[in-house]
């Protein structure tokens, strides 16, 4: 676990870790959030560059 400065830094770090998981051969990753709004916000942030 590591401290980040802001939400954007958190999402950047999560993207790095998810990329590492996928490169290691994992096909499914679960991320738990407190509610549906938080889940949608996180999804939008993580997929912002995937157009």
Q: How confident is the model over 26-35, as pLDDT tens digits?
A: 998 888 999 9
pLDDT of residue 46: 83
Q: What is the pLDDT of residue 5?
A: 92
Confidence band of 51 (pLDDT split at 50, 70, 90): very low
pTM of the model: 0.69
pLDDT in tens, 5-42: 998 888 889 889 999 999 999 998 888 999 999 999 98
CA of residue 13 relative to chain centroid, distance: 7
pLDDT at 49 over 80: no
Closest to 17 measured CA to CA, from 4, 5, 41: 4
Q: Residue 19 to residues 6, 37, 43: CA-CA distances in angstroms?
A: 20, 24, 15
């Amino acid at each position: 676990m590591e401290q980040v400065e802001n939400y954007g830094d958190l999402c950047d770090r999560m993207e790095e870790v998810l990329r590492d998981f996928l490169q290691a051969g994992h096909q499914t990753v679960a991320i738990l959030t407190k509610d549906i709004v938080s889940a949608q916000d996180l999804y939008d942030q993580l997929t912002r560059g995937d157009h």
